[in-house]
Chain A
Amino acid sequence: MYNEIRVFVENKPGKLSHIAELLGEAGIDILALDLADEGQFGVVKILTAEPDRAKSILSEANMTVAFNKVAMVEIDDRPGSLLKFSKALESSNLNVTDAYGCIIERGKRAVFVVKGDNLADIETAARNAGLKALDSLE
């Protein structure tokens, strides 16, 4: 299981820049970022190799930050590799509520990040299909 970072933000200009600036100054690489918006406020999801440090940096800047547990599965960065994982989920009858992927090394490694009702089952299903469920990112 892995900690994705969630930041509560008011929906107004400059918020994303603030996050980008804080993490950039600290030399933290953002692997993936997504913004879910609700009108007046939103939640920013951030995937980074250094979740603990990123969280404390944002928190010290008085931002509202929480960890969100996700399953992170390593797949090959080439056509068709996602299917192996999605089939594994399907055959174990597992539902996914949120998902995205990102490339770690072009043409070689990618990770697929999912949120579902039972993360442990999702990880087991991945392992059974011969995939790696990651607890850290180097």
Chain B
Amino acid sequence: MNDRVGSCYEWMSRDEIASLQAELLQRTVAQAAKSPWYSAKFKEKGVEPGDITSRDDITTLPLTSKEELRESYPRQMLTVDPSEVIRMHTSSGTTGRPIAVFHTKEDVDNWAELMARCLGMAGATASDVFQNMSGYGLFTGGLGLHYGAERLGMWVIPAGAGNTARHIMLIRDFHTTVIHATPSYAMHVAERMLQEGDDPKSLGLKIAALGAEPYTEEMRKKLQDLYGFKVFNSYGLTEMNGPGVAFECTEQNGMHVWEDSYIVEILNPDTLEPVGEGEVGELVMTTLRRTAMPIIRYRTRDLTRLITEDCPCGRKHARLARMVGRSDDMLIVRGVNVFPKQIEEVIMRHDWVGGNYVIHLSTRESLDQMTVRVEMAKEAFDGTIATVKIQRAELQKQLKEAAGFTVMVDVLEPGSLPVSEGKAKRVIDERG
């Protein structure tokens, strides 16, 4: 697998993508079979690399879960002689074993090409100065962006995470035009500047690649207004290299996922069957070019949908819509898939309720019943029961629109819901 992932791949037609995927999938399966882990898995499932003749044969291959990647730690999924590996990264798992991913020289090269393609697609060129405000080390957001920016020929400042004052100084002194950061850090820098009576626009930044944490369209608009730059969404995960998997073009409407390097499937997380066109499901990805550690049909647990309409930019690589949540979180209520995040988004639009809430599921007359419990915000109470009723009715109406069925709303006194330390337990399922 020594193909360079040059720009000819960026503008492939759908037909070209399909035939390339078939060819690369075959090779990927053969390569994966060289690892102790996949060789055992293929044997168990009766998979023969030679059986793969088309892209659609991918559905005959077994899925790979996050747990399985953890089990394969430290190097059960390595397919090459260790001397060929030049780099590894690990996922940012907070508990237990991490997921380790290995790269040969070609793997790092291809990754850099994909990353460079992403940055170029957003409008960056060799004359730009790129400041990487992301942490380096095992986290892929450091070296991943770094190599891509260098590949594009930009002047790269590997500033790393933290130290806001130094970031601002470097941006001013070296005329940085392109940054990579998390959205919350970009917001933090802007707020800090505003506090000090400084205008973020005066930095002269043009492009911001923001990712690694979810953020809303409102947040993007706010950042764009504050800085006067354009924000591009980035999607990546260590298992699929890291950044460089999918990125927005200048249309800023969905992230093109590089189908010459990945096969993308959207599956119903329950049945594991493909969802209908344009429907939301779990993103499942297969590496097509990685040599040291190919991963087949990886369940990312990220929920999204594919935008299949032609993009005005002319690229034919499919686009991923914004992630809507994690498949682990999905609830099935009256046969409808609902994600707590959808509910949360509606609640957050109402400032008369506090930030704490619970989604309670029960059974009433053999039907699933969803009750959303919110707390009245202390300052919002105007003393009349009518106002509370109107506010509740509006919330209820919007929840029904979001969920597709009637949702009950309980308005509680402030402080009556349990405050959890760390990750809040938002869903209580008492269905019998």
Binding site for B on A (CB under 8 A): 6, 8-10, 36, 38, 40-43, 59, 62-68
Docked pose: A41 CA to B376 CA in angstroms: 11
Docked pose: A41 CA to B408 CA in angstroms: 13
Asked if B389 is at the interface of the complex by the 8 Å CB criterion, the answer is yes
Enumerate chain A residues within 8 angstroms of B388, measured Cβ to Cβ: 8, 38, 41, 43
10 contacts between A and B (CB under 8 A): A6-B383, A8-B381, A10-B411, A36-B385, A43-B384, A43-B388, A59-B378, A62-B414, A64-B378, A65-B381
The residue on B at minimum CB distance from A3 is B383
Given the interface pairs A10-B412, A10-B416, A62-B415, the reply to whether A68 lies near B383 with Cβ below 8 Å is: yes
Enumerate chain A residues within 8 angstroms of B44, measured Cβ to Cβ: none
B413 close to A66 (CB less than 8 A) = no
Number of interface residues of B (CB under 8 A): 16
Enumerate chain B residues within 8 angstroms of A38, measured Cβ to Cβ: 385, 388-389
Minimal beta-carbon separation of A88 from chain B (angstroms): 26
Given the interface pairs A64-B376, A64-B378, the reply to whether A6 lies near B384 with Cβ below 8 Å is: yes
Enumerate chain B residues within 8 angstroms of A62, measured Cβ to Cβ: 413-415
A64 close to B416 (CB less than 8 A) = no
Interface of chain A, main secondary structure: strand
Docked pose: A62 CA to B413 CA in angstroms: 9
Asked if B191 is at the interface of the complex by the 8 Å CB criterion, the answer is no
Docked pose: A36 CA to B382 CA in angstroms: 15
Pick from A6, A10, A36: contact of B413, CB below 8 A: A10
Docked pose: A59 CA to B383 CA in angstroms: 13
Task: Scan residues 253-295 of chain B and give those whose CB is less than 8 A from a CB of chain A.
Answer: none
A40 close to B411 (CB less than 8 A) = yes
Minimal beta-carbon separation of B406 from chain A (angstroms): 15
A68 close to B415 (CB less than 8 A) = no
Minimal beta-carbon separation of A80 from chain B (angstroms): 32
Docked pose: A101 CA to B378 CA in angstroms: 29
Minimal beta-carbon separation of A17 from chain B (angstroms): 15
Minimal beta-carbon separation of B53 from chain A (angstroms): 61
Asked if B410 is at the interface of the complex by the 8 Å CB criterion, the answer is yes
A40 close to B413 (CB less than 8 A) = no
A43 close to B383 (CB less than 8 A) = yes
Given the interface pairs A8-B376, A8-B388, A38-B388, the reply to whether A64 lies near B414 with Cβ below 8 Å is: yes
Enumerate chain B residues within 8 angstroms of A40, measured Cβ to Cβ: 410-411
Enumerate chain B residues within 8 angstroms of A66, measured Cβ to Cβ: 381-383
Enumerate chain B residues within 8 angstroms of A65, measured Cβ to Cβ: 381
Docked pose: A110 CA to B398 CA in angstroms: 47
B383 close to A67 (CB less than 8 A) = yes
The residue on B at minimum CB distance from A65 is B381
Can you list the 9 inter-chain pairs with the closest CB atoms, starting with the nearest?
A6-B383, A66-B383, A68-B383, A43-B385, A64-B381, A66-B381, A8-B381, A62-B415, A41-B411
Enumerate chain A residues within 8 angstroms of B383, measured Cβ to Cβ: 6, 43, 66-68
Task: Scan residues 396-428 of chain B and give those whose CB is less than 8 A from a CB of chain A.
Answer: 410-416
Minimal beta-carbon separation of B215 from chain A (angstroms): 32
Docked pose: A40 CA to B374 CA in angstroms: 12
Enumerate chain A residues within 8 angstroms of B382, measured Cβ to Cβ: 66
Minimal beta-carbon separation of A47 from chain B (angstroms): 13
Docked pose: A124 CA to B134 CA in angstroms: 68
Given the interface pairs A8-B376, A64-B376, the reply to whether A42 lies near B411 with Cβ below 8 Å is: no
Minimal beta-carbon separation of B1 from chain A (angstroms): 62
Docked pose: A59 CA to B76 CA in angstroms: 60
Docked pose: A19 CA to B48 CA in angstroms: 74
Minimal beta-carbon separation of A62 from chain B (angstroms): 5
Minimal beta-carbon separation of A58 from chain B (angstroms): 11
Given the interface pairs A8-B376, A40-B410, the reply to whether A68 lies near B384 with Cβ below 8 Å is: yes
Scoring B residues 307 to 348 as 1 if CB is less than 8 Å from chain A, else 0, what string do you get? 000000000000000000000000000000000000000000
A64 close to B385 (CB less than 8 A) = no
Docked pose: A6 CA to B415 CA in angstroms: 18
Docked pose: A38 CA to B385 CA in angstroms: 8
Enumerate chain B residues within 8 angstroms of A59, measured Cβ to Cβ: 378
A8 close to B413 (CB less than 8 A) = yes
Of the listed residues A9, A36, A59, A64, the one surrounded by the most CB atoms of chain B closer than 10 A to its CB is: A64
Enumerate chain A residues within 8 angstroms of B416, measured Cβ to Cβ: 10
The residue on A at minimum CB distance from B382 is A66
The residue on B at minimum CB distance from A64 is B381
The residue on B at minimum CB distance from A5 is B383
Docked pose: A43 CA to B376 CA in angstroms: 13
Minimal beta-carbon separation of A100 from chain B (angstroms): 15
